Structure 1
Amino acid sequence: MASNLDVKEQGQLVSQVEHAVQRSIDYAMGSVRPDGHWYGELKSNVTITAEYIFLRQALGLDLEADGPAYCRHILSQQNPDGSWGLAPEHPGDVSTTTEAYLALKILSTGVDTPSMQRARTFILNAGGIARVRVFTRIFLATFGLFPWTAVPQLPVELILLPYFCPINIYKFASWARGTIAPLLIICNHQPVYALPNGLSADNDYLDTLWLDPTNKNVPYGPSLCDLLFEWDIAGLAFSILDKVLYQLNGLRSIPLLRPYARRECMKWILDRQEKTGDWAGIFPPMHGSVYAFVLEGYALDDAPVRLGIEALENFTWEDETGKRVQPCVSPVWDTALMSIGLSDVMSPDRPIVDRALTWVRSRQLLHPRGDWCVYRPHLAPGGFSFEYHNSCYPDVDDTAAVILAQVKHDASAVDSPSVLAAATWILGMQNPDGGWAAFDVENDKLFLNKIPFSDMDSLCDTSCADITGRILEAFGLMILHAAPASEKATTSATHLLPALRAACTRAIDYLASTQEPTGAWFGRWGCNYIYGTSHALCGLTYFADQSPQVRKMVPPALAWIKANQNLDGGWGESLLSYRSANQGQRASSSPSQSAWGLMGLLAHLPPTDIAIERGVIWLVAAQQPEKGIGSSWPQEVYTGTGFPDHFYLGYDYYRHYFPMMALGRYVRGVRGMVL
């Protein structure tokens, strides 16, 4: 729809946008790290911090020095009803609240304080500790607060199954794989550690949180009858297997096999530890692996344990609100996306982006190391990981973002060794359905989510629209800038053009098959439909002219974005949309989601479209001065997704580089430049 602004008003809006853009550039330049990269806090719920406190308590590490700071942070995240949720403004969660309560009690918070009383009331009203998830049960069991008999069986022998078996360690997603391996060791030993009230296999430290503390051996999944009634064959089979394993003492009694399996499991874990102590660059494998090494007899000052604890400590973040532990760190992701934002706003300070991309390129993984090699042994490496230290698990989404950052900044980079290696690796990671997942290929055995310990539906890494859309955008930009073969040497991206085009055709088919009846796409790694739809549209823009299929997909997607624009001109979507597409989908406008909505529209519509102008006006008005280094956009809500409906992420810089991209693309559109 045409603009409702006259020429003068349009000029004023462009002037306001350019001023906002300059202020956003000032903020980006003021927040860059000394060596040229960006790294913002990655927030999650309080369970990550609580579980780190559990580890320090279990191993007898000091908690007095940082205890007050941890308490301040945990208490600052409590909801008015006494609960802790999966994210700010999210309903309370009994598992999260139980872990927060235990952590606070370990840190000497009085149980009669109003905060603890409200938390206890919430937990009891939610059904008590008996209702917590399996992973929380395991943490409680390590302190004797839950019987180990009420935890699913995890035999270490799983590590021995070869990669060609229907079920083996490599059939699980990378994050699950790295977490399960140390859990096999933990569940083998079934340790019980001391709490402030002492050590007991039946500790009464949290008995006030049970509806019936005399019966703690509560089931952890549906009954066999319920599974049969629901005709859940996979769930039934795994539950029967779990009961058989329980009767066999988890295979612990088989001579020679268990010791061998434990050695192989520890070797598997040790082989994946970085020199810095990290495992997979994320908290759960790092946290669990420290437990595993200690249980297998390693001392606290032995290198794997000492470095592992140091790596966990490097995940901490402290400010005036207290100290907490991040689930991960995101420097490569932040630097790539900030570089894209600066390129989109045509930053006059090109050296800052040159320096940032030099920093990123130095982290390209060019050695064939990592679990992705198991099912792609002949694929040349070339990916980028998300974190500072993670050589085993390059991230497909990050790698596509790095391609975009390099080519947007300098079109000639399309022929660079870095971009060619990255694109070649991504090509080899495409799934048979035409889409891409985050870390793995053909990791789609969803029946694994029926395993009893999987109560978060997160054991697989399947294709998703948001990553596929970003790769289409990266490949589309490469195709646009690839020169004719006659003008380039044999190392040119021209030689990749047939493969790029073929992959994009398959990716477009994938997006066509996954588009919702509403016109939207599900967002796997960002909340939610606005994220998936925006990324799909940004990728499809490069193929609209030559593909009738794309031209058919785009209009309903644009209509969906417009229909979900808030009255104030921005966009907002609740995390509750992961529970039901019709529940809580609309929310107050947020900077990152408003930027996603705008970028999706700008990819296919003129900047004078009314919906675009309203969104731009909202973003300009929402910008605020930031710490004396320019301006940014305040955002409290989390719009990043770890596991839908189970774990969410708050990327601090999402509030900045995505709005910067959107405003930059608007100005480019107004100036008649290529978006």
Structure 2
Amino acid sequence: MDDYKATVTAVPESLRKATTYLQSQVRDDGHWCAEVKSNTTVTSEYITLLYALNLPVPDGPEPWISWIVSEQKFDGSWGPAPDIPGDISETVEAYFALKILGLDPENQVMRKAKSWILVNGGVARVRIFTRIYLACFGLFPWSSIPELPPEFIFMPVAAPCSIYYMASWARATVVPLLLISHHRPVFALPNGRNENNTYLDEIWCDRGINKNVPYTTSLWTMAWQLDVTSVACTVVDKALRYANGMRSTPWRLAARRRCLEWILERQEEDGGWAGIFPPMHGGVLALYLEGHYSTDPKSPFQRGIAGLEGFIWTDDRGKRMQACVSPVWDTILSSIGLLDAGLPGDNEYIVRSNAWLLARQDKDHGAQSPGDWRALNPNLIPGAISFEYFNKWTPDVDDTAALILAFVKKEPSSIDSDSVVRAIQWILGMQNADGGWGAFDRENNKLFFNQIPFSDMESMCDPSTADVTGRVIEAFGLVMEKHSKISRSFEKFLLTQSIRDAMKESANRGIDYLFREQEQSGSWYGRWGSNYLYGTSNVLCGLSNAHFIDNSRAGLINESIKRGVDWLVNVQNTDGGWGECLETYARPTLAGQGKSTASQTGWALMGVLTLLAVTDITVRRGVQYLLSTQREDGAWIEREFTGVGFPNHFYLGYVYYPHYFAMMGLGRYASLCGLKVFEDVPG
């Protein structure tokens, strides 16, 4: 018991230090935004794009070389995350970018990279996206890339293969690629312009003698495997190739024009598209190829370049490109972290951050509000928020559910505000038929897209996921809890009985979905965070709030919670923390295994606190791990990536994750212990 008392005594000071640190990081207008770390691919692709367009590299080559070189692994490769083995596509792209930037091929960095590339199959082994980037310089034949006819844009929304059944990130990337594929550009390199350029022949295993590398397995193999969808997609691709990609059709010009219109109307205020690098890279290149190059700063082309520049991050390691920026996400979660730590809702940092968020919620445009989610959901009233500074076309469910949590934790009466009610109604309208929620779209589950020749990352769709669904249930539960405590003298609720009934029905369908998704181990898969620790935490936080929605299912819910908590208890590390390696996406048997991190320990601690007492040894050890790993300045820092872009392919390191998730875990522990962290602290 003395150990318990010592732990409890240490928590308030830890939370106060953590709060001071987070407050020191706030931007002038009240929001938070840290670097979103990723691998070197987006930086490499940015460098080669600038070279293709004959544009200068900001601040010269050296800071870019410095950062790319610093990310090289000991074996000479570059990989998706710090502790993940090297990737052939990423390593080829990094080698190409460094060579473009002027690094001598005889430099040790380049020689090690070359050796690793050749041992691992050479350029011939790269994925489709890398093939496309190389083909733009004559380094890979366009004949070895799937056909992408611009006429695809004309597919009606009702058609199963409409672009609106692709995930938002895929859709925004594919439309520019339709134009790039039409033009099949070949840009000059230092050794000249050539459709069979030898600039990278030293990293082809056969010195580039045969670059016509198939991009699919043979039709016979697919047929033998009874893979009907892949056979059909490959047959269509071969027919398109036989017809020269339909380039001679009378409607090609109209298709190109429609693609261009689609791109231009979705360009955001900052010049970017969809808030992520791939559509921005493709959008700029498509505009250039369609004759929209301009030196006018207000032109779509120059605005696109400026949008890319807005993603550049610079520090003492050099310069790099971010895959995205996370101001809304960081601000919402920082606000929740501060509130969970015990900071009152009227604290100036909370007030300013909530005001900043409120200004970015999509609730002022009425029926004409933009958004690709409208294609399959035209009558839904807007009320969502996006992850980035500028991304009005693709707001998401996860941010919007988290926004509800932040607003209601700050001020319980906000459940009857226009902002919260609009967010609830939008989320209700985004629920899938299976009861779950995806991230950006409704019913975005045509998984055959993952089998087309173009898709070798298997991330073309946005179906329901347990982690997003869990957060929605948590938000709905919190709203219903606060509603039950509001004075009944209120008669004119915006949160009407019909909306509350819809929330109950929707939540029950979501809970059924979560029951079905629970693994035999008791855990849940995490799509947007690594991996089963993230999914399990989100679901447990949701299910623990579910009894405020419908207490009639308490038995089933409690049983599901117990299985999830038991799994978390069983995978706790000997140091008291929790960790899970990214390899679990390829090898689920590794679920819950990995080096302890503050972010994952924060997730797990929130999860176990839904059932276990604060005196439980599992809880105490988790709290002690966070206390022992906090820095003197109050921060938690980790090098591991615990965010996920595309499982098995692209991972993210959110710099603030270890900090605000640790605060949430410790804050909820402190609350359950009855601690008043800021009772006697001014501000």
Same-fold call, TM cutoff 0.5? yes
For residues 511 and 60 of structure 2, the distance between their equivalents in structure 1, rounded to whole angstroms, comes to 51
For residues 409 and 649 of structure 1, the distance between their equivalents in structure 2, rounded to whole angstroms, comes to 29
Question: Matches of residues 163-562 of structure 1 in structure 2 within 5 Å?
Answer: 163-212=157-206, 213-255=208-250, 257-302=251-296, 303-347=299-343, 350-366=347-363, 367=365, 368-483=369-484, 486-495=488-497, 496-544=499-547, 546-547=552-553, 548-562=555-569
Q: For structure 1, which runs of at least 5 residues remain unmatched after alignment? A: 1-5
Q: Alpha-carbon deviations, 1:395-446, whole Å to 9, x = none?
A: 1100011100010111111111111111110010000111000000000000
For residues 600 and 134 of structure 1, the distance between their equivalents in structure 2, rounded to whole angstroms, comes to 39
SS of residue paired to 1:281: coil
1:636 to 623, 639, 645: 639
Q: Kindly tell me: are residues 672 and 502 of structure 1, through their superposed partners in 2, closer, same or farther at Cα, counting changes over 3 Å?
A: farther
Are 1:617 and 2:611 matched, yes or no?
no
For residues 487 and 591 of structure 1, the distance between their equivalents in structure 2, rounded to whole angstroms, comes to 45
Moved more, 139-148 or 107-116: 107-116
Are 1:160 and 2:154 matched, yes or no?
yes
Are 1:592 and 2:599 matched, yes or no?
yes
What is the number of residues matched between the two proteins?
Answer: 662
Report the residue type matching 2:101 in the other structure.
Answer: L
For residues 356 and 531 of structure 2, the distance between their equivalents in structure 1, rounded to whole angstroms, comes to 31
For residues 156 and 60 of structure 2, the distance between their equivalents in structure 1, rounded to whole angstroms, comes to 44
Moved more, 485-494 or 450-459: 485-494
Q: Is the 8 A contact 1:465 1:514 kept in 2?
A: yes
Q: Is the 8 A contact 2:533 2:568 kept in 1?
A: yes
For residues 87 and 226 of structure 1, the distance between their equivalents in structure 2, rounded to whole angstroms, comes to 33
Report the residue type matching 1:362 in the other structure.
Answer: A
CA positional deviation for 1:493: 2.1
1:576 to 580, 583, 586: 583
- The percentage of counterpart residues that share the same residue type is 49
Moved more, 64-73 or 231-240: 64-73
Q: Is the 8 A contact 1:576 1:585 kept in 2?
A: no
TM-score normalised per structure 1: 0.97
Q: Equivalent residue for 1:71? A: 65
Q: Is the 8 A contact 2:533 2:592 kept in 1?
A: no
SS of residue paired to 1:482: helix
2:612 to 600, 605, 609: 605
2:120 to 119, 126, 129: 126
Moved more, 454-463 or 575-584: 575-584
CA positional deviation for 1:465: 0.4
SS of residue paired to 1:493: coil
For residues 18 and 533 of structure 2, the distance between their equivalents in structure 1, rounded to whole angstroms, comes to 23
CA positional deviation for 1:64: 7.2
Q: Is the 8 A contact 1:66 1:323 kept in 2?
A: no
CA-atom RMSD, angstroms? 1.3
CA positional deviation for 1:584: 7.4
For residues 216 and 471 of structure 1, the distance between their equivalents in structure 2, rounded to whole angstroms, comes to 49
For residues 166 and 424 of structure 1, the distance between their equivalents in structure 2, rounded to whole angstroms, comes to 27
SS of residue paired to 1:75: helix
CA positional deviation for 1:275: 2.6
Q: Is the 8 A contact 2:418 2:494 kept in 1?
A: no
Q: Is the 8 A contact 1:485 1:494 kept in 2?
A: no
Q: Is the 8 A contact 2:599 2:642 kept in 1?
A: yes
Q: Alpha-carbon deviations, 1:125-156, whole Å to 9, x = none?
A: 11111000000000000010000000000000
For residues 654 and 73 of structure 1, the distance between their equivalents in structure 2, rounded to whole angstroms, comes to 22
Q: Is the 8 A contact 2:637 2:655 kept in 1?
A: no
SS of residue paired to 1:518: coil
For residues 275 and 471 of structure 1, the distance between their equivalents in structure 2, rounded to whole angstroms, comes to 29
For residues 505 and 59 of structure 2, the distance between their equivalents in structure 1, rounded to whole angstroms, comes to 58
Q: For structure 2, which runs of at least 5 residues remain unmatched after alignment? A: 677-683
Q: Kindly tell me: are residues 87 and 141 of structure 1, through their superposed partners in 2, closer, same or farther at Cα, counting changes over 3 Å?
A: same
SS of residue paired to 2:104: coil
SS of residue paired to 2:217: coil
For residues 169 and 326 of structure 2, the distance between their equivalents in structure 1, rounded to whole angstroms, comes to 15
Q: Is the 8 A contact 2:30 2:349 kept in 1?
A: yes
CA positional deviation for 1:585: 4.9
Report the residue type matching 1:246 in the other structure.
Answer: R
CA positional deviation for 1:565: 0.4
SS of residue paired to 1:234: helix
SS of residue paired to 2:121: coil
For residues 7 and 562 of structure 2, the distance between their equivalents in structure 1, rounded to whole angstroms, comes to 26
Q: Equivalent residue for 2:88? A: 94
Q: Is the 8 A contact 1:437 1:464 kept in 2?
A: yes
Q: Equivalent residue for 2:23? A: 29
Q: Equivalent residue for 1:654? A: 657
Q: Alpha-carbon deviations, 1:306-358, whole Å to 9, x = none?
A: 00000100000000011001011110000000000000011257121011000
For residues 326 and 156 of structure 2, the distance between their equivalents in structure 1, rounded to whole angstroms, comes to 33
CA positional deviation for 1:486: 4.4
SS of residue paired to 1:323: strand
Q: Equivalent residue for 1:3? A: none
